[in-house]
Structure 1
């Protein structure tokens, strides 16, 4: 249901939004009816969590010391905890780098943040994804940048700066879907939908009948939750797409339109190939990262061109909430920026790579372990 809804949204808005950003730029989200409605719906989600909390406390106080009342109050409070606002957090097992551990990287991030008008990064996390992301998390609203080491390795110097400019641009592009109020409501609904997955039990006729009845109850709750997700995504889809274009404009401002377009081109031609290479790492020996570099250095130009030509036909994109990559590339190429606002010397980039490599061994082991585990699934 969600997949079909997102597909319809893409068909409806992609071409129109691309024409708009080419004509007048992405701008910043305005207080249009959809944005106001998204805040109203998010308010409903937050008020639901608050009302459950108050109801649970009232039940405990009003029915004390009745065991039934206490049990019911605890159940209501437990559900209130489940639907609480999600403010985000850094995973306990995340590999993070402090300013003392990665001074050159943080210095570059500070320069990029100054160029795009973004707040300084508080935490840098490194993982094994072919992606990067920026988030503002927790009650203290700390700014966290996550860099996927495989993605970093397949980019050149200017493209890496463009990547940082794009991600830090998310802190200034006004995307309510990733903001505190609407974003936390969406995350609550996503988590609630995940918990309300159908239950599968093995057993006799009685167990199967009980499972069937319980799944009906779960479905009755899951459907309206899914409907609210679809509504919030509908209300925020247009502004989120424009926000991605705005972040691409920050990338071009920081690193030049050519570098920003190169970043988009790599997402079309190199990312999927690098993913397949890493997925086959269970069969490989030697240094994972050196092997990835060699594979990318020898990647056929004819295959790159084939993938570029296929991109418009297949609407290749990072995910359902990003505009197609070939349209983003066309947008960045058309931007009027000249020289890069932030440049990095070869020596600086080598020091940054050394700082990131401190997490490389562990990430390589995790990728290899996942690839080997997939052989037995």
Structure 2
């Protein structure tokens, strides 16, 4: 069993105020913020790093002011988004040029001389072309026939945010949720992290679904066909150009040839990610607004609070995995009982997290500010934006019979994911 709450009392070393805390969490002072963020500060990597942080902070503050201004903000293509699209098209152009050049060399032939370089270009095209995602085979995947009640809820949420629904739902052990496309026809996949799903109320689950589907409704470029595949293509190129391990003399020469192309690809990849991050942070705020309109402001704010404690939830899950490993082999019945028990432990732990820990996380987030490589705005700012406007009522409400049906449809996946978490201890 996880450690139980135990109240602690001590005087603040900075201001002397009495601190009442919980032994499971960092002890901090609400009066002077002593120890509010025990995490090590980011190291200073020089003038360029400081300039990037300052730029991220200015952009974040400007975007926050727009969101708090109460305007009816819509997605827009700014200079960064347009540049990212152009860069993505160039990446795809390079890939296409390999294919065209290869076909041209093979067809032209030049007395057989062009066949070999043509085949080399075609092989490079095949190796470096963007891969179409497939449905995952390493986790439970539900189709409409498997989970009609869950898909009915997702359909209703999609209609509320103004987009079409998904074609498949994958369930895994991450404390997260996401949407992506798969297949040549661009079908939609919703990935539900069971640990996050289990600690949310039915209303907060609707807010989670609303937020994820809203990324399609608000034109998030990161989920688009052009930019999204370009990022994956560059990542594949960078992986392909990694130095060969334990090289021979010939492989050392190959590694040397790889240096400049690898640096160029890495630079393009970083640039593309940075260009889309601005539009991405705007998309997150807009997705939060649609989530609040769908599930209510209260439910969306509750979701934000749960996201503040994901690190604590991950620690608990790893601790339970270690405990299970020390327990040795078990019968199938015992393993299933232990897996089902895991979700009860997680829910009980979440319910026991005190408000002062949520407040500490908010204040710590405020100190850390906007991160250069962050794909989301700071959670405490997302929460503040939701609370700034008029409270919204829910357009989609949970129904008892539907909740029961969804629980039954997820039961097998729920057990399978818990077994994997206890066996592997891998939490994202």
Where on the TM-score scale, by shorter chain, does this alignment land: which range? Answer: 0.7 to 0.9
Q: 1:372 to 1:325 in 2, by over 3 A?
A: closer
Cα displacement (A) at 1:305: 3.2
Corresponding residue to 1:176 among 221, 226, 234: 221
> What does residue range 64-213 of structure 1 map to in structure 2 within 5 Å?
66=112, 70-201=115-246, 207=248, 209-213=249-253
- What secondary structure is seen at the aligned counterpart in 2 of 1:134? strand
Say if 2:87 is the partner of 1:41. Answer: yes
For the residues of structure 2 that align with 1:229 and 1:8, how far apart are their CA atoms?
A: 21
Say if 2:390 is the partner of 1:350. Answer: no
- Greater Cα radius of gyration, structure 1 or 2: 2
Residue correspondences, number:
364
For the residues of structure 2 that align with 1:358 and 1:65, how far apart are their CA atoms?
A: 62
For the residues of structure 1 that align with 2:178 and 2:71, how far apart are their CA atoms?
A: 23
Deviates more, 1:25-34 or 1:163-172: 25-34
Q: Deviations over 1:141-166 (max 9, x none)?
A: 21211110000011112111100000
Residue in 2 that maps onto 1:365:
419
Corresponding residue to 2:346 among 271, 285, 292: 292
Deviates more, 1:43-52 or 1:234-243: 234-243
Scaled by the length of structure 1, the TM-score of the pair is 0.88
- What secondary structure is seen at the aligned counterpart in 1 of 2:208? helix
Cα displacement (A) at 1:83: 3.0
Asked if the contact 2:136/2:170 (under 8 Å) is kept, the reply is no
Asked if the contact 2:298/2:391 (under 8 Å) is kept, the reply is no
Listed as ranges, the gaps of 5+ residues in structure 2 are 1-44, 325-337
Cα displacement (A) at 1:86: 4.1
Deviates more, 1:299-308 or 1:43-52: 299-308
Asked if the contact 1:37/1:235 (under 8 Å) is kept, the reply is yes
Listed as ranges, the gaps of 5+ residues in structure 1 are none
Q: Deviations over 1:162-191 (max 9, x none)?
A: 000000101111111220112211221122
For the residues of structure 2 that align with 1:156 and 1:357, how far apart are their CA atoms?
A: 17
Scaled by the length of structure 2, the TM-score of the pair is 0.78
Residue in 2 that maps onto 1:326:
380
Q: 1:295 to 1:33 in 2, by over 3 A?
A: closer
Cα displacement (A) at 1:312: 1.4
Deviates more, 1:282-291 or 1:354-363: 282-291
Considering only aligned residues, what root-mean-square deviation do their CA atoms show, in Å?
A: 2.7
> What does residue range 305-324 of structure 1 map to in structure 2 within 5 Å?
305-315=359-369, 320-324=374-378
For the residues of structure 1 that align with 2:345 and 2:413, how far apart are their CA atoms?
A: 17
Asked if the contact 1:113/1:168 (under 8 Å) is kept, the reply is yes
Cα displacement (A) at 1:215: 2.4
Asked if the contact 2:95/2:129 (under 8 Å) is kept, the reply is yes
> What does residue range 275-286 of structure 1 map to in structure 2 within 5 Å?
275-285=314-324, 286=338
Cα displacement (A) at 1:80: 1.1
Q: Deviations over 1:220-247 (max 9, x none)?
A: 1111112212332333222111111111
Corresponding residue to 1:253 among 293, 305, 308: 293
